[in-house]
Amino acid sequence: MESRLISTLAFGELTDLIEKSYVRFMELEPRNAEQLFMRNSIPAGTGDSRRMDEMDTETFARSMAEGEDAHKVSVAHGYSKTMYWSRRATEIDITYKMRATGKDREIIAKITSLNHYCPERKELDLTHRLTFATSTSYTDMDGNTVDVTAGDGLAAVYSAHTLKHSSATWRNRIANDPIYSQGAQELGETLANTNILNNFGETREMNFGIVFSGKDASTIRAIRKVMESTSDIDQENPGVVNTYTGYRHVILPKLATDANGAYDSTKRRWWGIVSEGNLQAHYGVWEENNLKTPSAGNNGEDLHNDNWTYGSRMSYGMCIVSARGLIMSCPTS
C-alpha cells in the first residue's frame, strides 16, 4: 500500500490509513489549558450535566478543658456550579474527483487536518475560561451564550468575591493590572498570602507553582528572566539563588483571542498564577476525541455525490466552582 498513490487506494485501505494517522496524531493533542483544570471522566448513560459542589470546614482545633466535650467543627456546603455537556464535531469529504484525478496532496491535507479540529476547539473553550475571566458570559463562535461565572455568580477574576458563610470578601485580580515583572509577581504572591479564604472567612494556604501567559514575546521573556535566571558561582556575587525556580511556565497560545479564536491584542499581556490541584476548575469528558468512518457495506460512498465522508467527535463540559487558586493580572496595553 505504501508504494501506491493515495488517490488510488480502495475505500478500506484509505480508511485504514486515516485511522492510523488519527491515532498517531492524538499523541500530539494540545493540552496546554487542560492541565490547569481538574479532569473528570463522565460515564456513559449518566446524564448530560454534573453538579460540582464545594465543601468547606473550619480551620483550627479549639482547646479542650478537662472533662469537657471536644469542639465540633463546622462542615458546610460552599458554592455549587453545574457543568453541561457540549458535543463538538467536524467532517471532511474525499470526493470522487480527488480520487479520480490524483489529488494526493489535497487528500493528505484533509486526512491530517481531521485530527486537530475537536482538540483545538477543546483548548479554545478551556482557555476562554481565562480569556473571559473578567466577564460573566460571552457569545462563542456558534452563537451560544456561555456562562463563565464562578459559583458565587461573579466573574472568575474579580476584586470582591463573596463567601457563603461569612460577610468577608476576597480578591484574585491584581490591583492596577500590572504587566509581568518581578514586582508584579510579588504582588500576585502577596494576594496568595492574604486573600485565600475559606467560606468561613478564615485564611487558607495554597502553594502556587504555575505561572501562565499567552504567546506575547515580551511577557514570555520577562517570565523566563524571572523564573530561569541563575548566577555563576565565579561572579562577584556568588551564591545568588533564584527564589522562583519552583514555578512552571504554561503558555496558552489561545489566551489573547476573541470568541472566534482570532487574535485580540488587548489581552496579549494577560498573565496569572495557579495553585495546581486547588483551583476548583473542572473539565468533564463525556466522549473522548474519536474518528467516525463511513460504512464499508456500501463502499462508504454517498449515493448522491460519491463522496467518502470521515468525521471526528468529542463531548465535554467545564465550569469553575471557585477561583481560589487563580490570581490574574489583565493589562490592556
Instruction: Note the pLDDT tens digit of each residue in 62-112.
Output: 888 888 888 777 788 899 999 999 999 999 898 989 988 988 888 888 887
| Buried/exposed 44-64: b ≥16 CB within 10 Å, e otherwise | eeeeeebebebebebeeeeee
Helix (H, G, I), strand (E, B) or coil at 110: helix
Q: In the chain, how long is the greatest CA-to-CA distance? A: 92
Q: What is the mean pLDDT of residues 304-327?
A: 93
CB 40 within 8 A of CB 283: yes
Residues with Cβ < 8 Å from 137, sequence gap 6 or more? 145, 146, 147, 148, 149
CA-closest candidate to residue 83, choices 38, 36, 134: 38
Q: How many CA atoms lie within 13 A of 280 on its CB side?
A: 24
Instruction: Note the pLDDT tens digit of each residue in 204-258.
Output: 889 999 999 999 999 999 999 888 776 554 556 655 666 667 899 999 999 999 9
Instruction: Note the pLDDT tens digit of each residue in 183-193.
Output: 999 999 999 99
Hey, which of 27-31, 101-105, 251-255, 296-300 has the most confident mean pLDDT? 251-255
Domains of the chain from N-terminus onward: 6-52+80-232+239-329 (3.90.1690)
Distance, in Å, from the CA atom of 172 to the CA atom of 325, rounded to the nearest integer, reads 8
pLDDT at position 5: 72
Hey, which of 1-5, 29-33, 142-146, 288-292 has the most confident mean pLDDT? 142-146
Distance, in Å, from the CA atom of 244 to the CA atom of 230, rounded to the nearest integer, reads 10
C-alpha cell at 86: 457540549
Which range is least confidently modeled, 161-170, 215-224, 303-312? 303-312
pLDDT at position 10: 76
Higher pLDDT, residue 225 or 266: 266
Instruction: Note the pLDDT tens digit of each residue in 101-155.
Output: 988 888 888 887 888 899 999 999 999 999 999 999 999 999 999 999 999 999 9
pLDDT at position 2: 45
CB 122 within 8 A of CB 140: no
